[in-house]
């Protein structure tokens, strides 16, 4: 449509709504403006994939179009050749593989290599031709021996020789740092039988003929690939020590392997009518829509989809034996989100093969994975750095975006209320209309966006409150003889810290305040409110330099949660003293996060504990428990870079 000037409605009138939808799905966007070519391309790709989720024929048309483009790419300039070839290799070839369209997949890869690296492609192609001639006799002998062995085993089969693609050889050379002469398994054989039991009989016959290479047997019949591909793969040592790969499959498996989802797509919406392959493809297409819903922009969507298109897979099991397919190097977090979004969001730990493992552990084929969840657990921002699936990355980012915004809005509302009280703004002065007017002036979306900016430290509550006061004064000037609205700062009411502010509130690492300490808050841009002890030297110095960004705080009465405290315990260095100190901390119901020991000589040692407590009363109980140990000389809380004696704390 972008080339012809004919609209979707005209197409529908001439060819029907189905054809119009298909053409629209593969058409580029021409009515919107984008910041860059990358964003425009990502938006086109997003539109195409979402159309494909409704009807897979969209991607079949697009892949056919791209294949034709690659076959005629010599007609365009060198820069466009490289750009289109790279895009084909990174996006369209993996989609073809994901849908099981292997013939198109292989040709797209070879054509891309030819335009990305023309000299390398020509050299490899020439080397392949030479090798084909020199190995013809060996391959003929293997072909004849295999047919005789299968006939002797009463297995009816067709035996076809096949050659690795030029791109497949090139990738193996690059990934394994091999020269062409070192890539031995360039040739292989495909054995096609009538039924699944014959596949295993044929494999047994082949293993009786030539020795198998350990670790090179893969059963994709019992555990099919995510695109529906099924075959037995085995590599055998043939004559003269040449490794030869064999693929053993039925006629139906061969049809699916070559044509994939296009082999028998029924174009029906009823899931019950779909074959297993179609059902898996349908689920993947629907997952694209889920990722789109959780993703802010097209570029991020494209990034997430590229991850899911990566063809290397691992197959792991749930405790009940269900198979879950994940990308290579996937983690338990990816597994959790593959099971259900809520399982991923509440994941706290994972058991891999019955043993607790870190959440960043890379899963391997055959692992049995069990996810441990917590009722108040939430995604960790660090997960984005190691998850491998597009779904997991999109879900984590979506949760962090929405949750942080909600928490920031709530904190911003409290900070604004304090600033409004300081300016003696009455509730009737802070109207929805004035919020809207201020949002327009500040180029913000709405009131919540302004409050979120306050909570994240991007705007100062006092400044926003003054702007509201100015709007109120401008709209309703005082009557003659009436005093002006008070704008002076009144006595400040501290903002209450409840400990439930989440990511909108940070506890300063320099002084680690806990409930019961006198506290003050620093509005850090994009970090929100950072809580310091009132006597923290870093806070005092920074407050003198920029007083506008500091506000008074106080702890709420009904606090929940645990807070970090650094303790220094000076002891006589005797056997078992560390264990007794740790036991004393545990008896006082505190958790130890970190231990560091410094030998001070003269039989004296300083043990630094980082522990968690509920408040100052809990800390005092921990200190008393430690001081009952006879080897303990002194217990100090480290505050603002100095030790405070246990009597003061």
Tell how far CA 495 is from the center of its chain: 36
CA–CA dist 505, 530 (Å, integer) = 6
Please identify which of the residues 3, 77, 482, 647 carries the catalytic annotation.
3
- Whether residue 256 contacts residue 100, with contact meaning beta carbons closer than 8 Å, is answered with yes
Q: Is 43 a catalytic residue?
A: no
Question: Quick one: 573 exposed, middle or buried, by C-beta within 10 A (0-12, 13-18, 19+)?
Answer: middle
Q: Using CA atoms, how far apart are residues 593 and 598, in angstroms rounded to an integer?
A: 17
Distance between CA atoms of residues 131 and 184, nearest Å? 10
Backbone angles phi, psi at 264, to 5 degrees: -155, 50
Strands, sheet with 528-533, edge to edge from the N-terminal-most edge strand:
495-497, 550-555, 519-524, 528-533, 505-507
Q: Point out the catalytic residue in the list 2, 13, 297, 599.
A: 2
What are φ and ψ of residue 313, in 5° steps? Answer: -130, 155
323-327 and 347-352: which strand pairing? unpaired
Region for 380 from its dihedrals, namely left if φ exceeds 0, alpha if ψ lies in -120 to 50, beta otherwise: beta
Beta bridge partners of 235: 245
Contacts of 208 (CB under 8 A, 6+ apart): 149, 153
Tokens, residue 302: 């494209």
Cα 483 from Cα 517, distance rounded (Å): 42
- Please state, in angstroms and rounded to a whole number, the distance separating the CA atoms of residues 336 and 351: 12
Is residue 110 within 8 Å of residue 166, measured between CB atoms? Answer: yes
Examine the residue annotation and report whether 185 is marked as an active-site residue of this protein: no
Number of neighbours of residue 603 by Cβ within 10 angstroms: 10
562: exposed, middle or buried (Cβ count in 10 Å: 0-12, 13-18, 19+)? middle
Measured distance CA(453)–CA(459) in Å, rounded: 6
Query: Looking at the annotation, which residues are catalytic?
Result: 2-3
């Amino acid at each position: 449509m972008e080339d012809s000037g004919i609209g979707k409605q005209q197409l529908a009138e001439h060819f029907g709504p189905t054809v119009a939808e298909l053409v629209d799905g593969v058409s580029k966007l021409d009515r919107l403006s984008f910041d860059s070519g990358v964003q425009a391309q990502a938006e086109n790709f997003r539109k195409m994939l979402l159309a494909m989720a409704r009807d897979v024929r969209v991607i079949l048309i697009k892949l056919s179009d791209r294949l034709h483009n690659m076959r005629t790419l010599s007609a365009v300039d060198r820069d466009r050749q490289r750009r289109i070839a790279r895009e084909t290799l990174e996006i369209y070839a993996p989609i073809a593989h994901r849908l099981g369209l292997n013939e198109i997949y292989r040709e797209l890869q070879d054509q891309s290599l030819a335009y990305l690296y023309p000299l390398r492609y020509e050299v490899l192609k020439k080397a392949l031709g030479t090798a084909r001639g020199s190995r013809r006799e060996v391959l003929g002998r293997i072909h004849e021996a295999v047919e005789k062995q299968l006939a002797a085993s009463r297995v009816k089969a067709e035996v076809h020789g096949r050659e690795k693609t030029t791109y497949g050889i090139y990738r193996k050379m690059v990934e394994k740092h091999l020269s062409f002469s070192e890539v031995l398994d360039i040739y292989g054989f495909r054995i096609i039988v009538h039924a699944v039991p014959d596949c295993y009989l044929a494999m047994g016959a082949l293993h009786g003929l030539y020795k198998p290479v350990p670790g090179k047997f893969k059963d994709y019949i019992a555990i099919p690939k995510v695109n529906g591909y099924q075959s037995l793969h085995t590599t055998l040592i043939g004559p003269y020590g040449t490794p030869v790969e064999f693929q053993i499959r039925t006629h139906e498996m061969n049809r699916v392997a070559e044509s994939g989802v296009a082999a028998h797509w029924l174009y029906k919406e009823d899931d019950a009518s779909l074959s297993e392959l179609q059902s898996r493809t349908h689920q993947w297409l629907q997952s694209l829509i889920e990722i789109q819903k959780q993703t802010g922009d097209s570029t991020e969507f494209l990034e997430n989809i590229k991850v899911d298109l990566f063809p290397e897979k691992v197959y792991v099991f749930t405790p009940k034996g269900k198979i879950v397919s994940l990308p290579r190097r996937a983690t338990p977090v990816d597994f959790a989100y593959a099971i259900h979004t809520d399982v991923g969001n509440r994941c706290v730990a994972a058991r891999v093969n019955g043993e607790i493992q870190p959440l960043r552990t890379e899963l391997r084929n055959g692992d049995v994975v069990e996810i441990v969840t917590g009722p108040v657990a939430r995604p960790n921002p660090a997960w984005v750095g190691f998850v491998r699936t597009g779904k997991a990355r999109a879900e984590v980012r979506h949760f962090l975006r929405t949750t942080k915004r909600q928490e920031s809005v709530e904190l911003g509302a409290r900070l604004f209320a304090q600033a409004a009280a300081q300016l003696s703004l009455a509730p009737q002065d802070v109207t929805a209309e004035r919020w809207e007017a201020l949002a327009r002036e500040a180029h913000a979306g709405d009131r919540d966006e302004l409050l979120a900016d306050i909570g994240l430290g991007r705007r100062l509550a006092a400044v926003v409150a003054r702007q509201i006061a100015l709007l109120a004064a401008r709209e309703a000037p005082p009557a003659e003889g009436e005093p002006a609205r008070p704008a002076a700062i009144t006595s400040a009411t501290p903002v209450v810290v409840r400990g439930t502010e989440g990511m909108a509130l940070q506890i300063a690492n320099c002084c680690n305040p806990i409930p019961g300490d006198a506290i003050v808050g620093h509005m850090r841009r994009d970090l929100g409110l950072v809580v310091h002890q009132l006597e923290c030297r870093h806070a005092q110095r920074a407050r003198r330099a920029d007083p506008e960004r500091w506000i008074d705080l106080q702890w709420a009465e009904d606090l929940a949660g645990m807070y970090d405290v650094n303790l220094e315990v000076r002891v006589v260095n005797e056997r078992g003293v560390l264990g007794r100190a740790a036991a004393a901390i545990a008896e006082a119901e505190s958790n130890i996060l970190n231990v560091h020991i410094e030998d001070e000589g003269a039989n004296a040692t300083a043990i630094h504990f980082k522990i968690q407590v509920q408040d100052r009363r809990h800390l005092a109980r921990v200190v008393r428990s430690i001081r009952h140990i006879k080897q303990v000389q002194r217990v100090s809380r480290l505050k603002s870079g100095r030790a405070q004696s246990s009597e003061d704390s």
